[in-house]
Chains A and B, each alone.
Chain A
Amino acid sequence: MINEIRDAIIQYLKSVMKENDVVLALRSSSTPGILTPCILRNKADLDQIEAGFFHLNNLAVYLSEFFQKENRLSTLQGYLYVLCKPCDTKAVTQMISDQQINPNKLKLVVYACEGMADMKKVKNEIGLDKDIKAIDLHLTELSLTLLDGSPLSIPVSKVISSKCLECNKEYHLTMSHVFVGDEKKWKSHPYSIATAENKVLLQDQKKGKDLFDQLKAELSACIRCNACRNVCHACFCSDRCIFDKPKMTVGFLDKEISPIDNILFHMIRFYHVAPNCTACGECERICPQGIPLSHLYEYFHRLMQESLDFSAGSSDSMRQAMLSYRLGEDLV
């Protein structure tokens, strides 16, 4: 099934790709289970494309770089095709709303996703002391070969990302895109078994000092590598970020790594991205220290929806929540 989707995507791209078009997709890397982004310019290279269960990356984050920092798209003669899972399209929509992307030269290739793996769960299943040599998906089983040669089989339901379990199978796109695969069948896919409505967040379970102590302990592991900031599509300031500006750093936040400074960093960053965050989970995935950032972004995502009736990535013409107001709302 997964291979079918991959073949269908490659076939589609081969049929529409023209002379000056460029494709932003993923191919396999030297690490099993991790796909690396690649830019393909020739039809012959299209066979390298991988998609499906290990498509963990949200490729939308590269688009703002294309437009702002390098602006290569202004010199691009053809189109830019981007391979997206349906949930990634929310990020693209939100960036269009924030005027970071011009959708004119962009074409999204969305496909029938069946969920993605959570490599941390895979690691937990096989044991943290073991390494993977090869990994592959066969229908509902993940078959691995460990470094010592022994094979292992894990059911997909154990390693699928929890975000996929709550997928509501919706995506709204007004820009030009194509859906590869059977959309109706995808909507009725059995993998989403939980709904996001009654989710219990950390902020519901703990309050006040307990909550602060736990978050402080979790965030004290932060080494301020800025990976979460770099992989986040909502952080589109990129090289103009206030945490890099010399005066600001001296003024607002010291480079010193202390629990309080770490908290301040994440507080400021989440305050900045809260209206744009689509809860894609990339920050948590990419963190080298394994900090459970979902404790934070899930809270803000729910807050935006419940209090301000705003869902990031749902519309490319409606501006984000902080830029509008309703008369008579008694928020503060």
Chain B
Amino acid sequence: MDRTNTVIAFVCQADKRKKLISSLKSKYPALRVIPVICIGKLNPVIIFRLLMKEARAVILVGCEPSDCHFREGVFFSERRFFLAKEVLKGFGLNDRLLNIIWSNPGKDALVLKQFETFMQYLKETQIEKGA
């Protein structure tokens, strides 16, 4: 299976991010947005599989650690994703392909700006699988 150019975004759904999701979908048709209840629910095992097989990059959008609707959930997932990135680094993969954005639901503009920068980065660099 060849690496596709799919970028998958998991967006935390806690506080009405529908506007963000719709604006992302309209702006980046190649981006697949999957809403989840809280990004703390995501098992990095899924992300590993995606990065190795189906996707080129994975972006996670979650609430800021102090403002998580579910209290301390994001603190734990912070450590989990840190370990996930370190695993990628330890295997020699580019850990920038797992991109985590912390932002509160009101700050859509900032999130979109970060998406823009990241998509630009992906386009510019000829990253092959495993580099």
Contact = CB atoms under 8 A, between A and B. Distances in A.
Direct interface between A and B, CB < 8 A:
yes
Interface in B57-95: 72, 75-76, 78-87, 89-94
Contact of A322 (B48, B76, B92): B76
Contacts of A207: 92
Given A210-B92, A322-B83, A271 B131 contact: no
A272 B80 CA distance: 10
Contact of A263 (B72, B83, B91): B91
Contacts of A40: none
B122 interface: no
A125 B53 CA distance: 42
Contacts, number: 90
Contacts of B45: 242, 252, 268, 271-272
B106 interface: no
B34 to A, nearest CB: 15
Interface residues of B, number: 30
Given A325-B72, A325-B75, A325-B78, A271 B83 contact: yes
B100 interface: yes
A271 B44 CA distance: 8
B78 A274 contact: no
Interface string A200-213: 00010011111111
A38 to B, nearest CB: 37
Contacts of A300: 86-87, 90
Interface residues of A, number: 39
B113 interface: no
Given A211-B92, A212-B92, A322 B79 contact: yes
A206 B130 CA distance: 14
A301 B63 CA distance: 30
Interface in A276-332: 296, 299-300, 303, 307-308, 321-323, 325, 327, 329, 331-332
B79 A209 contact: no
B75, B86, B91, B131: residue with the most chain A Cβ atoms closer than 10 Å: B91
A211 B91 CA distance: 7
Contacts of A213: 92, 130
A216 B128 CA distance: 14
Contacts of B91: 211-212, 215, 263, 267, 296
B119 interface: no
Interface of A: 203, 206-216, 242, 252-253, 260, 263-264, 267-268, 270-272, 274-275, 296, 299-300, 303, 307-308, 321-323, 325, 327, 329, 331-332
Question: Lowest 4 CB-CB distances: which A-B pairs, in order?
Answer: A211-B92, A212-B92, A325-B75, A331-B82
